[in-house]
Structure 1
Amino acid sequence: MWRTLASAVAGLLVLFVGSLAFNAASGQSRWPGPLDYVRVHPWVVLLILIPISLIGVWQVPRRDRAQDRLAPPAYRLPPRNTNFTGRDATLREVRQCLTSRNGVAMVAVQGLGGVGKTQLAIEYAYRYLSKYRFVAFVGAEDSDLVASHFVSLAGQLGLTEVSSDQAIPRVYGKLLDHRPWLIIFDNGEKPGTLTHALPSGGLASNGHVIVTTRVSGWSGRAGVIDLDVFTRQESVKLLVRRVPGMTEAVADRIAEQLGDLPLALEQAAGYMGYNHTAPEEYLTLLTSRLEEMIARGELTDRPEAEEVVVASLWSLSVERLNTDQPQAVRLLELCALLAPEPIPLDLFTGSPETLNGAAADPLVWDTTVGALAGLGLARRENASLVLHRLVQAAIRAPMPEEVRTDARVQLCRALLAAVPHDIHGDPDARPRWQELLPHVIAVTKDDPPAECAAETAVLLRLASEFLIQIGDCSVALPLCERALAIDESIEGRDAEAGFDLITLAQIHKDLNAPETARPLAERALRLHESCLPADSPAIATDLATLARLLCILGEHRAAQPLAERALQIDETAYGPDDPFVSFDLIALANVHVDLGDYATAAPLISRALQIREARYAPDHLYIGYVLLFKARVVHRLNDPTAADLARRGAQILHTRLGKTHPKTVDAFALVNGLR
């Protein structure tokens, strides 16, 4: 800008002086256009142009000198990553943290392996290179080799014949002549292992230190910045920029599979670039063969890129754990087979045998869990542990089949002990199932080992019952079908197969397929009557379910004795105020409604509502369903409370199922119809 301004001013000065000379030679009294102003007020124009030209002449060389200033000397600073993406706010935070303190300022950037700590530090060095007179990059993964790095560093600073025990203090002393300076210690361990290499006291001043580390524990020595994975927007931006033909939609799905881990995203882009793989094909491979894909891919713009792949990223940490705390490796293997969701720690403390007693001793357990968090393999929250999905994949990939099988058996048994079995009667069943359902699905997704086939079938059926409760029957259906297939393959599981069948019947009923549901319920009843006592509550469930199906199919007279017998069995087994009794009451009320006998149905429904309100939370779905049912019935009896009942029920479904769920839509349609 100043160079352009100086040129313009110089041109105007030449024009001005030339005009004066021309005027003097020609004797004209009138100049054309704006030049006439120069003739009339020559000294005003001159006084304006001379200061501007002087400023321009002064600024141009100053700016040129700033641009031409040589970059500061650097020790082993890797090349800049031309594909560096995002992280602007974090870079500003690092700069703010380093410049807000006098003397030597230190920042520890900590986070999961592959999250981009090293790349962030390198980008910081280049982005603020002009602020320093010396920059050094020191590999700190092996603390014993740090001193040798300082011997080389001393040589670059002009120090000769420096021994390894003298190198560190002499380098910091020499850096007094190169202030301000920046040293990056890459992949450092605990602060204690680097104490000898970090500046302290009056050894140096006006310098900055950045430590990148996977290990926690730096807060007492440095400002700590926790670096997380990319935002989804950053992930998509990187993939779209790097991969030809990549759409934002496909990039979003790839990023989801890779958990937004920066290293994995770069590796994916490298794989697609090298193999000319279409993004959609890569997504298919990633979805079906994740453990293999994280070991493949070319990385660019990285030091020692050929050695950096996600599959081996955490291997050294695992090797160290295996030596120091083998029980932590066992915990890691178990967690690797669960879902990439928060894992409740009481899943293991509730079944101490899963970890050979490690979870039984509070101190041993705390250090076992802490080892995973301390090495950056997991994030520890209040009562749970969270592993990144690619850490899980990397742990699963080399796991021997016998180890994997044993872990699945232990997890299946631990989950079966942890999930509520009385999904209908336990008021705390819903939050616990919401917490554990992803892990149940993860552990049971493949064919089960023979040692835990029966437990797997029970878990699948219980998961189906919970999904029915929250109105997600399409997800429940394949789980329950697998449970039935497993139970039918095991001898002596007739009763369990009956439970699977009646659950399947309930799913098909809710999916508006009563014709499919009826034979399933009839077969369940036959199986249970052949192997269970006549007054078994399981038979009552079969009877009530079959009664509801017969009503839907228009066979009301056949349904009534079934519903009455179910109510009698459960009242005898559980007492008159049990939640199971409420289901029988609803089944019997349905029969009377279909027979047009609303006056008989209304008190049955009211009694069911009273039972549920005494046992469930006010916004429980079971209460919402009864309120809506009662609203329909009392409306037929010209009861003015019908509209209020319907509104309460619809609001519960809206809260629990969402605005667009079919049952919610039907509920609000009823509300509108009763206005």
Structure 2
Amino acid sequence: MWRRLASAVAALLVLFVGSLAFNAASGQSHWPGPLDFVRVHPWVVLLLLIPLALVGLGQPPRPGRRQDPLPPTAYRLPPRNPNFTGRDATLREVRQRLTSADDVAMLVVHGMGGVGKTQLAVEYAYRYLPKYRFVAFLDAEAPDLVAPQFVSLAGELGLAEVNSEQAIPRVYGNLVDRRPWLIVFDNAEKPGTLTHALPSGGLAGNGHVIVTTRVSGWSGSAGVVDLEVFTRQESMKLLVRRVPGMTEALADRIAEQLGDLPLALEQAAGYMGYNRTTPERYRELLASHLEDMIGQGEPSDRPAVVVATLWRLSVDRLQTEQPQAVRLLELCALLAPEPVPLDLFTGSPETLDETPADALAWDTTVGALAGLGLARRGEASLVVHRLVQAAVRAAMPAEAHTDARVRLCRALLAAVPDDLHSDPDARPRWQQLLPHVIAVTRDDPPAECAAETAVLLRLASEFLVQIGDFSMALALCERALALDESIGNRDPEVGFDLITLAQIHRDLGAPETSRRLAERALTVHEACLPADSPAIATDLATLARTLCILGEQEAARPLAERALRIDEAAYGPDDPYVSFDLIALANVHVDLGDHASAAPLISRALRIREAKYAPDHLYIGYVLLFQARVLHALNDSTAADLARRGAQILHTRLGRNHPKTEDAFALVGSLQGGAR
């Protein structure tokens, strides 16, 4: 409209300037004819010209003349999700990268199934719809069906009688006059399967292409945005908004159980909304029936898509192309949703049916899981999302589940350190493997691996005692004892379980229970092991410490001395096991009031441990605190410094709020106060 008005005004100016030029050329003093009338009556002429200009402005444009831009046209764009949550930063990143100065016209949104790639692309299309003249949404999961969709798209653009071979170039040629345009290829496979459908040459700069995929390997073809699961805040926001009665605390716990996977959260909201299930009840169902719950409920925008079947096609494809990768995935499905060290599988020949013989074969086996979005690969580890694990477990036949459980028990038993006292690398290895040991031993074991499960449970409880988690250690060791007693012919193992339980009860403040268990362990081991067995030394030292707590120091002293002699003969004078016997004997002397006899025993134990353990090992911290108490009783001024060093070790290893750390700092305070 404004262009037409400008044209009319320009025409009047041309007429006026032309008349002036005519008069100047003729040299006349007045304007002839009608022009003289213009000079005499200019306002009358202007009033006569205004209606004519308005009539001219109201005329339709001539054929072929460029018209105002039409509103954007959308082809097969799914409905907008009214519950779309978060992702604002990612949407801005997608927009910025598509419109950046270096003219990147194609962007790949990559992520695991259910993470919300399609929803992000749909939301982007709607949010920036006014910026485009044409938007198309194509299903790229089946490469052979992409060209037929372009035939349909050609018809939408008014291109008649276009076959499959002509459709793609004809569509892009037509879109030159509709730029800027946007085409989304949803759920694409490997880059090579979509090359024929992407714009090339000069056509590539006329619009934007977004590809969503769960398959890796696109970085050489386009820029890639890796879409991760929701942040916990995004998960909680969605659940609180969608589910009546949902509190932030419950939303946090449900999101944790669902691994913050957007599809699973939508599915959960759909389930609770349809069944009128309370959030607390839904959380309980997730905890007890996760494999079943991932098949229940429907997202409001995609009723046919549920977590239980989300990865089935990928697994079926792997079964055909790389069956060893499926075996690896099934093993990971029974482990914790934590990083799984890959050497767990390569270190045990029984873990996989056929451990790949060379590095390349093994690398491609692991890479297949990462490539299809079924796992996230680290430098030396693999992480499988907890819901991928649940879906795989739900689809595993009972025989496959049992076989995988047996293989994992044996592999873990070969991988965990069984000498927690003398192995300096035991602690970090156990921290890495403990979640997986707990996951594999959670349920009653198959008969084929009951013995291995019992040993794993006891070793795990011994490690938990070492780090101060006595309540979990107690539960695991009680299960180990029950298993060993049910198997039969396991007397040495039963004795190990009993003495570990005795140590736990002693540390939990139940010395009478500890004494009964330690005496039973000693009786069992003396009946089935040689008299000089180090296992008997452990029983003796444990019983001696417990008797001290009960005030029976005189009965404890010969037990502690015998334990020391057995271990010195078995291991040598400088072995870490000897340090435990030295501490046990020193405790007896302290309880008898003989601090002078205890001091050299503690000093020797400290030297042994400092030579074997890291400077901040808990065992060194405990000895330092014990030494500080004894030296303080002997009026030694170095006691406060020793206590301070020991307390700092416990603070580093156990945390400031751990009861043992609090006791250590209380000791430091009392020694410093005494020094003043």
CA RMSD of aligned residues (A): 1.0
Q: Which amino acid aligns with 2:591?
A: D
Give a deviation string over 1:465-511, Cα, whole Å, max 9, x none: 00000011111000000000000011210000000000000000111
Residues 103 and 206 of structure 1 are in contact (CA less than 8 Å); yes or no, is this contact kept in structure 2? no
What is the SS of the residue equivalent to 1:307? coil
Q: Out of 600, 603, 625, which is 2:600 matched to?
A: 603
In 2, the alpha carbon distance for the partners of 1:235 and 1:143 equals 33
Deviation of 1:398 after TM superposition, in Å, equals 1.6
Residues 354 and 410 of structure 1 are in contact (CA less than 8 Å); yes or no, is this contact kept in structure 2? yes
Q: Out of 552, 573, 583, which is 1:586 matched to?
A: 583
In 1, the alpha carbon distance for the partners of 2:395 and 2:172 equals 44
Note if 1:337 corresponds to 2:337: no
- Whichever of the two has the greater Rg, that structure is 2
Q: Which amino acid aligns with 2:267?
A: Q
In 2, the alpha carbon distance for the partners of 1:508 and 1:412 equals 27
Residues 104 and 207 of structure 1 are in contact (CA less than 8 Å); yes or no, is this contact kept in structure 2? no
Give a deviation string over 1:221-253, Cα, whole Å, max 9, x none: 110000000000000000000001110000000
How many residue pairs get aligned? The number is: 605
- Match of residue 489 from structure 1: 486
- Match of residue 181 from structure 2: 181
Q: Out of 532, 546, 550, which is 1:549 matched to?
A: 546
Residues 298 and 304 of structure 2 are in contact (CA less than 8 Å); yes or no, is this contact kept in structure 1? no
Quick one: structure 1 residues 563 and 581, their matched pair in 2 at CA, closer, same or farther if it must change by over 3 Å?
same
In 2, the alpha carbon distance for the partners of 1:173 and 1:224 equals 26
- Match of residue 306 from structure 2: 309
Q: Which amino acid aligns with 1:403?
A: A
Residues 104 and 206 of structure 1 are in contact (CA less than 8 Å); yes or no, is this contact kept in structure 2? no
Q: 1:249-328 counterparts in 2 under 5 A?
A: 249-300=249-300, 302=301, 305-328=302-325
Give the percent of matched residue pairs that are identical in Structure 1 and Structure 2. 81
Q: 1:443-522 counterparts in 2 under 5 A?
A: 443-522=440-519
Residues 579 and 612 of structure 1 are in contact (CA less than 8 Å); yes or no, is this contact kept in structure 2? yes
In 2, the alpha carbon distance for the partners of 1:141 and 1:271 equals 28
In 2, the alpha carbon distance for the partners of 1:359 and 1:320 equals 20
What is the SS of the residue equivalent to 1:592? helix
What is the SS of the residue equivalent to 1:85? coil
Give a deviation string over 1:260-305, Cα, whole Å, max 9, x none: 00000000000000011111111111111000000000211x2xx2
Quick one: structure 1 residues 451 and 339, their matched pair in 2 at CA, closer, same or farther if it must change by over 3 Å?
same
What is the SS of the residue equivalent to 2:210? strand
Q: Which amino acid aligns with 1:275?
A: N
- Match of residue 4 from structure 1: none
- Match of residue 396 from structure 1: 393
In 2, the alpha carbon distance for the partners of 1:354 and 1:475 equals 28
Q: 1:14-413 counterparts in 2 under 5 A?
A: 71-101=71-101, 105-300=105-300, 302=301, 305-413=302-410
In 2, the alpha carbon distance for the partners of 1:70 and 1:387 equals 48
Residues 173 and 204 of structure 1 are in contact (CA less than 8 Å); yes or no, is this contact kept in structure 2? no
Residues 628 and 645 of structure 1 are in contact (CA less than 8 Å); yes or no, is this contact kept in structure 2? yes
Q: Which amino acid aligns with 1:470?
A: I
- Match of residue 54 from structure 2: none
In 2, the alpha carbon distance for the partners of 1:89 and 1:71 equals 27
Deviation of 1:585 after TM superposition, in Å, equals 0.1
Q: Which amino acid aligns with 1:319?
A: D
What is the SS of the residue equivalent to 1:533? coil
Deviates more, 1:81-90 or 1:93-102: 93-102
Deviation of 1:647 after TM superposition, in Å, equals 0.2
In 2, the alpha carbon distance for the partners of 1:360 and 1:505 equals 46
In 1, the alpha carbon distance for the partners of 2:153 and 2:185 equals 13
Residues 337 and 442 of structure 1 are in contact (CA less than 8 Å); yes or no, is this contact kept in structure 2? yes
Deviates more, 1:92-101 or 1:481-490: 92-101
Residues 440 and 459 of structure 1 are in contact (CA less than 8 Å); yes or no, is this contact kept in structure 2? yes
Q: 1:517-666 counterparts in 2 under 5 A?
A: 517-666=514-663
Quick one: structure 1 residues 267 and 599, their matched pair in 2 at CA, closer, same or farther if it must change by over 3 Å?
same
What is the SS of the residue equivalent to 2:218? coil
What is the SS of the residue equivalent to 1:91? helix
- Match of residue 414 from structure 1: 411
Residues 71 and 129 of structure 1 are in contact (CA less than 8 Å); yes or no, is this contact kept in structure 2? no
Residues 146 and 197 of structure 2 are in contact (CA less than 8 Å); yes or no, is this contact kept in structure 1? yes
TM-score relative to the length of structure 2: 0.89
Residues 115 and 261 of structure 1 are in contact (CA less than 8 Å); yes or no, is this contact kept in structure 2? yes
Quick one: structure 1 residues 290 and 236, their matched pair in 2 at CA, closer, same or farther if it must change by over 3 Å?
same
Quick one: structure 1 residues 602 and 619, their matched pair in 2 at CA, closer, same or farther if it must change by over 3 Å?
same
Deviation of 1:157 after TM superposition, in Å, equals 0.8
In 1, the alpha carbon distance for the partners of 2:393 and 2:515 equals 43
- Match of residue 436 from structure 1: 433
Deviation of 1:361 after TM superposition, in Å, equals 2.3
Give a deviation string over 1:89-122, Cα, whole Å, max 9, x none: 0000101110015556111000010000000000
In 1, the alpha carbon distance for the partners of 2:299 and 2:597 equals 74
- Match of residue 60 from structure 1: none
Note if 1:426 corresponds to 2:405: no
Q: Which amino acid aligns with 1:143?
A: P
What is the SS of the residue equivalent to 1:674? helix
Q: Which amino acid aligns with 2:557?
A: Q
What is the SS of the residue equivalent to 2:105? strand
Q: Which amino acid aligns with 2:385?
A: H
Deviation of 1:306 after TM superposition, in Å, equals 2.5
What is the SS of the residue equivalent to 1:534? coil
Deviation of 1:322 after TM superposition, in Å, equals 0.4
In 2, the alpha carbon distance for the partners of 1:352 and 1:185 equals 43
Quick one: structure 1 residues 170 and 505, their matched pair in 2 at CA, closer, same or farther if it must change by over 3 Å?
same
- Match of residue 7 from structure 1: none
What is the SS of the residue equivalent to 1:228? coil
In 2, the alpha carbon distance for the partners of 1:620 and 1:203 equals 65
Deviation of 1:348 after TM superposition, in Å, equals 0.2
Deviation of 1:205 after TM superposition, in Å, equals 2.6
Q: Which amino acid aligns with 1:560?
A: R
What is the SS of the residue equivalent to 1:353? coil
Q: Which amino acid aligns with 2:183?
A: I
In 2, the alpha carbon distance for the partners of 1:513 and 1:621 equals 23
In 2, the alpha carbon distance for the partners of 1:352 and 1:210 equals 44
Deviation of 1:362 after TM superposition, in Å, equals 1.2
